[in-house]
Amino acid sequence: MSHETGAPQKKLIQTLNGQAQDIAPIWLMRQAGRYLPEYRKTREAAGSFLDLCYTPELAEEVTLQPIRRFGLDASIVFSDILVVPDGLGQKVSFVEGEGPVLEPITSVGELAKLELERVVPHLAPVYETLRRLRKSLPVETTLIGFAGAPWTVATYMVGGRSTPDQGAAKAWAYRAPEEFQTLIDLLTEATILHLSEQVEAGAEVLQLFDTWAGSLSEAAFRRYALEPAKRIAGALKAKFPHVPMIGFPRGAGPMAKDYFRETGISGLSIDTGMSLDWARRELQPLGCLQGNLDPLLLVAGGTEMRRGIETVLKAFSGAPFIFNLGHGIVPQTPPEHVTELVDIVRGWRG
Amino acid sequence: MSHETGAPQKKLIQTLNGQAQDIAPIWLMRQAGRYLPEYRKTREAAGSFLDLCYTPELAEEVTLQPIRRFGLDASIVFSDILVVPDGLGQKVSFVEGEGPVLEPITSVGELAKLELERVVPHLAPVYETLRRLRKSLPVETTLIGFAGAPWTVATYMVGGRSTPDQGAAKAWAYRAPEEFQTLIDLLTEATILHLSEQVEAGAEVLQLFDTWAGSLSEAAFRRYALEPAKRIAGALKAKFPHVPMIGFPRGAGPMAKDYFRETGISGLSIDTGMSLDWARRELQPLGCLQGNLDPLLLVAGGTEMRRGIETVLKAFSGAPFIFNLGHGIVPQTPPEHVTELVDIVRGWRG
């Protein structure tokens, strides 16, 4: 694999391997996105959102845009967590201003129509994008591959769209846990395949997004969030021992500690609502933390943003830490605030 | 005040005062609501949702409905957290299928038009509902008054509706913290007035709902959630030392501990996503816990519901605990599942 060279490790990978840095590496969730005028231009030319994901030269272009502007330490391949259901054969589309729309799956009969072996061939363009990026990215920039975690992806597959209380998926999980487990198991397998192919194509770090983990009860969290993440992290580690994985069980609160300890991941991404004090004390001893500036501070800019950035830096410096947001960057973010953020992080001495 | 009698304390109040019960008292957030056919009938007759809140005989009727059906240990007055902005003079309406719609307030000029002294006279019908309920409720049933916490109410006042990321309120808070603090302070005062009047009218316990506390960063949580709750709880305790308050900083994760410890409240309501294990260990020693069954388990019923109820009971028995949901009951809940829930809680021996 092209990434196994004798060159010194990149800064972000060193950090995930447990080495604290004087200057924290920085990247931003959804850094390739609508807040950038150059993204909106490419997006318009692409046709649909999925066309953009599946056209390697365009996906490569939008992935590179924030690297060109801000020189971030990592580049996350432009794709979406819903390419996996699309790969499995579920009908997925993105409606402007509405978000994703899927033909909901709510029975084992419909589940049976999904095809695991379809995922990798269908997602070939994503892997091609990664291969291109490994060549076009600056040598110091780490390439991140990613997937949605089974629970979060399942909420969209069952609900047919973003569901604020994840009611549809929970309804199925609670009514027929064995049936719902079949879906979670299928997604776990699909995620392992998809992440493995991303590593083969050049991803040096992986991130698993469990955006809707926070509303799960303790028992459901263990079953639908922690256990699948453990299986996924274990499978990837067995195949690619040198590729660190970052988990993001958003809103998990104190259960983030069990998740970090038991899944075997190298890094934990924490959301904006997470206590810095608690995270520093209880989570950072377990590995590298990543986060957690409020994306809305990046919209506001000014004194509050600067103070917020410094608070995060102070909380986590001196131990392995990657600067990031607590959730994805939002479309109304002025790009110049990102420039300022990067300057502050790079200029900060703890 | 009518509630200061020589009679023995009601079970829910005993529990909030630190006395563990063999059988946990139980009530459910939004127990008067659309899942009940009798509620839907009264609701239709009432005209608008706010008309229902402001017509004491109808508000009394819907408050009593779940008590008649299920014999719950507490009755929360039928009202809404947005009666406070309505009382302050902001235009509030409820659009069928859309939720609340407010004329957003986004400048100090608009803020200045709000009138604190308007709140209590405007909300007189709510207090009248409480006075009626004190007479019509069974003697063993505790009457709960409530208000939305300043931060959560502010998110609606600034956003004009339910905002998933609380972006509008945060944008203001981060751009002009002093201006936003003026709104928070005004709401803190209004909340103190509104809760005090509810006690005067017969409320025996108070609950403060901070539904959107979970997305706040640690610094913002302290400033906009914890500090106002501390001021509100302190003011009420000074006036009514025998009226316990329950706080509900939904999604606060580990910061729930600081909130519980520092605000001086008697009870803490915990959301579904809260770790039972951590809450038992870190929170319950600080006072009475309330929660946290997944409302979607109550929709599903069956084995999973029963197992979920028992898991919660096991986690919190032997120390002060009130059985409740982790969030409001949802409209698709079959009322017979609530009957079963109450039976299980009442029949359970830890």
Q: List the single residue in A with minimal CA-CA distance to B333.
A: A171
Rounded to the nearest integer, the mean pLDDT of chain A is: 96
Exposure string (b/e) for A243-265, b if CB count within 10 Å is 16 or more? bbbbbbbbbbbbbbbbbbeebbb
**Nearest residue to A329 (alpha-carbon basis) of A293, A277, A283:** A293
DSSP-assigned letters across all residues of B268-290: EE--TTS-HHHIIIIIGGGSEEE
Q: So which residues of A are the catalytic ones?
A: 30, 34, 43, 80, 156
Using the predicted structure, report yes or no on whether residue A1 has a pLDDT greater than 60.
Answer: no
Tokens representing A106?
């709510």
Q: How far apart are CA B195 and CA B210, in angstroms?
A: 15
Q: List the single residue in B with minimal CA-CA distance to A175.
A: B300
> What's residue B2's pLDDT?
43
Q: Which residues of A touch B165 (CB under 8 A)?
A: 295-296, 327, 330
pLDDT band for A7, please (50, 70, 90 cuts). low
Contact B304 A175 (CB under 8 A): yes
pLDDT in tens, A30-79: 999 999 999 999 999 998 999 999 999 999 999 999 999 999 999 999 99
Q: At which residue do the structure tokens 């597959």 appear?
A: A157
Q: How far apart are CA A40 and CA A195, in angstroms?
A: 27
Each of the 350 residues of chain B gets a pLDDT tens digit; together they read: 444 555 679 999 999 999 999 999 999 999 999 999 999 999 999 989 999 999 999 999 999 999 999 999 999 999 999 999 999 999 999 988 889 999 999 899 999 999 999 999 999 999 999 999 999 999 999 999 999 999 999 999 999 999 889 999 999 999 999 999 999 999 999 999 999 999 999 999 999 999 999 999 999 999 999 999 999 999 999 999 999 999 999 999 999 999 999 999 999 999 999 999 999 999 999 999 999 999 999 999 999 999 999 999 999 999 999 999 999 999 999 999 999 999 999 999 87
pLDDT in tens, B83-104: 999 999 999 999 888 899 999 9
Using the predicted structure, report yes or no on whether residue A2 has a pLDDT greater than 60.
Answer: no
Contact B254 A253 (CB under 8 A): yes
Q: How far apart are CA A63 and CA A78, in angstroms?
A: 5
Using the predicted structure, report yes or no on whether residue A97 has a pLDDT greater than 90.
Answer: no
Using the predicted structure, report yes or no on whether residue A20 has a pLDDT greater than 50.
Answer: yes
B74 within 8 A of B90, measured Cβ to Cβ: no
Considering only the beta carbons, identify the residue of B171, B221, B277 that sits closest to A296. Answer: B171
Which domains occur in chain A, in start order? 11-347 (3.20.20.210)
Q: How far apart are CA A186 and CA A182, in angstroms?
A: 6
The whole-model pTM stands at 0.95
Tokens representing B219?
């610094």
> What's residue B7's pLDDT?
67
> What's residue B6's pLDDT?
59
Q: Determine the distance in angstroms separating the CA of A255 from the nearest CA of chain B, rounded to an integer.
A: 6
